[in-house]
Amino acid sequence: MKRFTLAWKAAEWLPYALLQYRQYEMEKGKKFVYPMPIYRKLTSEAEQNDWYAAAGRPVFENYMNGIRREALPGIEAPYGFGVMKNTGLVDVKGLLDTLAEDLTAKRLLIRERFVHEKLKTKENYVEYEGIRARRIVFAEGYGLKHNPFFGHLPLMGTKGEALTVEPAEKPGGIVKSNVFMAPVPGSRAYLVGSTYNWTDKSLTPTREAREHLLEKFRGLYQGDFEVTGQRAGIRPTVKDRRPLLGRHPRHANLFVLNGMGTRGVILAPRSAKILFDYMEFGMDLPAEMDIRRFSDG
């Protein structure tokens, strides 16, 4: 939820995504989903009124609670916190690491750099380094910009940086203000972020982002803390904020799955299922997700 509006497809697709993560938790005997409230710091009476008004709308009844008046450990909030329910976080790193281990054990994952020029496209199959398959799906994130088959798609890429901190007092839950702070599963640390940079496409953390985040974080958190790390990444953003799914216009065996932006945890499972059904059963792609929207008309 952003600015008291639900993110695109959030209400419809979140249950499906959680089901996939929960099933994998049961299969592997590990925990990836951590339910917890989100506390949105309010900064004025006007924001309090806006929160109450939005919380009274049916569309938000499953997500918005009342206002918490008490301070959180290390965080003062004279106007309180708007409390969000049915929220939490997914341990994406733990999930991906476990998936990689699982696929490696089944001899279904090869860890090496993919060289697009080595891919051979035939009428009924593709071949790469001796591996033959009916189809190939490119799910490369921002790396799509270097893909000779799909690099023309309008994937912008937005760099984001975040800090890892260990606060003396832990607020519990996720806190959202000018920055967010969210607990890192399995550790004492919190992730503080994030920045948006539309020009720098490197994966190098910067001093400017660190100083910016520290300034914002000190305005939110009044306790002592230690900075233990900094990270950077490129969000695979698209100008219309919709995923990129579809078939290559000339190579019928080449497909793309990309453009999840900042909401891959919610969008990716359902998007992958939609693309699978399109490839295997000929089901239509939603026009707003189909890459042909950038070539038709």
pLDDT in tens, 23-41: 999 999 999 999 999 999 9
Between CA 15 and CA 210 the distance in angstroms is 35
The angle, 0 to 180 degrees and rounded to 10, between the axes of the packed helices 92-105 and 10-28 is 50
- For 232-279, what is each residue's pLDDT tens digit? 999 999 999 999 999 999 999 999 999 999 999 999 999 999 999 999
- Asked whether the beta carbons of 121 and 261 are under 8 A apart, the reply is no
How many C-beta atoms lie closer than 10 Å to residue 81's C-beta?
A: 27
Flag whether pLDDT at 1 surpasses 60: no
Q: Does domain 158-235 have CATH number 3.30.9.10?
A: yes
Q: Exposed e or buried b for every residue in 151-178, given b needs 16+ CB within 10 A?
A: eebebbbbbbbbbbbbbeebbebbbbbe
Q: Is the peptide bond before 194 cis (omega within 30 degrees of 0)?
A: yes
Work out the mean pLDDT of the chain and round it to a whole number.
Answer: 95
Q: What is the CA radius of gyration of the chain?
A: 21
- For 103-133, what is each residue's pLDDT tens digit? 999 999 999 999 999 999 999 999 999 999 9
CATH 3.30.9.10 boundaries in the chain: 158-235
Burial class (CB in 10 A: 0-12, 13-18, 19+), 82: buried
Between CA 155 and CA 236 the distance in angstroms is 6
Between CA 160 and CA 129 the distance in angstroms is 35
- Percent share of the chain, pLDDT over 70: 98
Ramachandran quadrant class, 153 (left: phi over 0; alpha: psi -120 to 50; beta: rest): beta
Q: Exposed e or buried b for every residue in 49-70, given b needs 16+ CB within 10 A?
A: eebeebbeeeebeebbbebbee
Higher pLDDT residue, 19 or 1? 19
Question: At residue 291, what are phi and psi to the nearest 5 degrees?
Answer: -65, -15
- For 87-108, what is each residue's pLDDT tens digit? 999 999 999 999 999 999 999 9
Q: Average of pLDDT values for 172-191?
A: 95
Question: Which pLDDT band holds residue 3 (cuts at 50, 70, 90)?
Answer: low
Rounded alpha-carbon distances, angstroms, from residue 62 to 54, 85, 86, 237:
12, 7, 7, 28
- For 220-231, what is each residue's pLDDT tens digit? 999 999 999 999
CATH 3.50.50.60 boundaries in the chain: 112-155+239-294
Question: Which pLDDT band holds residue 297 (cuts at 50, 70, 90)?
Answer: very low
CATH placement of domain 112-155+239-294: 3.50.50.60
